[in-house]
Amino acid sequence: MGLASKLAAAQGAAGGAVGVPGAPGAGAPPAPNTATRPPYPTGGPPPQQGYPPQGQQGYPPQGQQGFPPQGQQGRPGYPQGGPQHGYPQQGYPPQGHGQQGYGQPPQQGYPQPGYPQQGYQQPPQGQHGHPGYGMAAGAAAGAAAGYGASQYQQHQQQQYPPQQQYGAPPGAPGAPGGAPGGGSVSQYMDSLQRAVQENGIQGFYPPQRLQQIAGTVGPLVDQCVQAWKIPHEIAVDLIRLALYDIVIFVDDSGSMSFEENGERIEDLKLILNRAAFAASLFDQNGIEVRFMNNQHGGNGIRSEQQVQQLISQTRFHGLTPLGTSLQSKVLDQLVLGPARGGALQKPVLVITITDGHPAGESSNTIFKVIRDAKNQLGRTRYGPGAVAFQFAQVGNDLKAREFLSKLDSDRDVGGMVDCTSNFEVEQDEMARQGVDLSPSMWIVKMLVGAIDRSYDSHDEQRRR
């Protein structure tokens, strides 16, 4: 049973409507959050960042892409013009090396040129601390899943210092200064500041711009909570998507259609639907879709109907030219070209969905493509943080899993990417830790793992 089938079964068992929400307003939101205990529990803030993490991306307002002209306002996350300051080229140690351990006090991130460092400092402990990867949702979500609150807290205390050591829990709904739905503007601001500093994208987002975004995302977070049935503290992580333009790079090789009775294509549709829904909440441009083999693509995809139409026009055939097509169809057109011309409006998050390892090219090609892209961006005013890479597997191909694991742990490239195994593998790994990973939580990890190092670092720790 594939990811899409399992999600449909879970929704049916919970009494929710089967299907995936598309663009905002596509239908009434499901019942309020009844999520199970959130996976990837942590006892502290994400490991602090001493270098511009896992590339972030931006790409320009090209006419065929449907992006608004420079300076257009009124949308969360859309910066007023491009970066105005240089960015020093940095090295990229792999994830897990030289980073602060989980549950330890964070280090101070290094300053970025262009804006005062104090605008991106972490708040003092106890002031709207961002909960680590599902920690703050603990007792309530555990109880909803049939876990007693005390049982969940006891499990946490055995592994991590007490939660209050790292920061006070978010304010309750309606609390003074709070945003609708249980979050607060200061909590959202803290999360956005951390994302900007962690990913080295200060040139795109001065502090005043972040304040504008923080003031608008509260209701959008609530929509994610209700539509996906995830804890509010996890949904807050999705606001990082407001900082990026999202490109989904799709493996359309023949194996996607003839393996596993076509379930891989159904999983692909689910991922595209969820990505389009989340992206369109925080940026009306939606997502861009490019294929490895087909020449057509999708621009400004925002709804389930658009996803279905795009996939219906796609012929799944051929091999898996992962690095070659990523270079020619995504990076050259949507990232590097605009960056060289000074037209990059936002960093770009590239999410690659694949069911296999590279075929029709050297397995080393993708490593070189990623390194070269980061190095080229490091020589521009945007810096290497202007692109972030996520690689997610659908299907159960063992060679694909091994290849993505090699990519994620590579000494040179591993620190520039995040790789997510297929749902069944991730679910089994989390089950061994006593955590129930839902399909919705897998998708959250897939969406933000490349731009939130708390997800990627914890994933790396589990693989050691």
Q: What is the pTM of this model?
A: 0.67
**Nearest Cα to 383, choosing from 202, 254, 233, 229?**
202
Name the residue ranges covered by the structural domains of the chain: 1-114+135-464
What is the per-residue pLDDT for 261? 84
What's the maximum distance between 2 C-alpha atoms anywhere in the chain? 59
Q: Are 253 and 245 in contact (CB under 8 A)?
A: no
Sheet architecture: strand order including 287-291: 297-301, 287-291, 245-250, 348-354, 387-393, 417-420
- φ and ψ of 348, to 5 deg: -115, 130
**Buried residues in 312-326 as b, exposed as e (16+ CB within 10 A):** eebebebbbbbbbbb
Which 3-state string (H, E, C) describes the chain? CCHHHHHHHHHHHCCCCCCCCCCCCCCCCCCCCCCCCCCCCCCCCCCCCCCCCCCCCCCCCCHHHCCCCCCCCCCCCCCCCCCCCCCCCCCCCCCCCCCCCCCCCCCCCCCCCCCCHHHHCCCCCCCCCCCCCCHHHHHHHHHHCCCCHHHHHHHHHHHCCCHHHCCCCCCCCCCCCECHHHCEHHHHHHHHHHHHHHHCCCCCCCHHHHHHHHCCCHHHHHHHHHHHCCCHHHHHHHHHHHHCEEEEEECCCCHHHHCHHHHHHHHHHHHHHHHHHHHHHHCCCCEEEEECCCCCEEEEECCHHHHHHHHHCCCCCCCECHHHHHHHHHHHHHHHHHHHCCCCCCCEEEEEEECCCCECCCCCHHHHHHHHHHHHHHCCCCCHHHEEEEEEECCCCHHHHHHHHHHHHCCCCHHHEEEECCHHHHHHHHHCCCCCCCHHHHHHHHHHCCCCHHHHHHHHHHHC
Burial class, 143, CB count within 10 angstroms (exposed 0-12 / middle 13-18 / buried 19+) = middle
Q: Are 357 and 96 in contact (CB under 8 A)?
A: no
As a whole number of angstroms, the distance between CA 215 and CA 212 comes to 5
**Nearest Cα to 160, choosing from 142, 135, 184, 189?**
135
Q: What angle do CA 90, 377, 380 make, to 5 degrees?
A: 95
Cα first-last separation, the chain: 28
As a whole number of angstroms, the distance between CA 388 and CA 322 comes to 16
Q: Are 127 and 240 in contact (CB under 8 A)?
A: no
As a whole number of angstroms, the distance between CA 168 and CA 76 comes to 26
pLDDT in tens, 126-173: 334 344 333 333 333 433 333 233 333 333 333 333 333 323 333 333
pLDDT in tens, 418-442: 999 999 999 998 899 898 999 999 9
As a whole number of angstroms, the distance between CA 280 and CA 349 comes to 14
**Nearest Cα to 310, choosing from 262, 252, 224, 241?**
252
What is the per-residue pLDDT for 447? 96
**pLDDT-flagged residues of the chain (< 70):** 1-182, 457-464
What is the per-residue pLDDT for 316? 96
Does CATH place domain 1-114+135-464 in 3.50.50.60?
no
What is the per-residue pLDDT for 133? 38
- Residue 64 tokens read as 């065929």
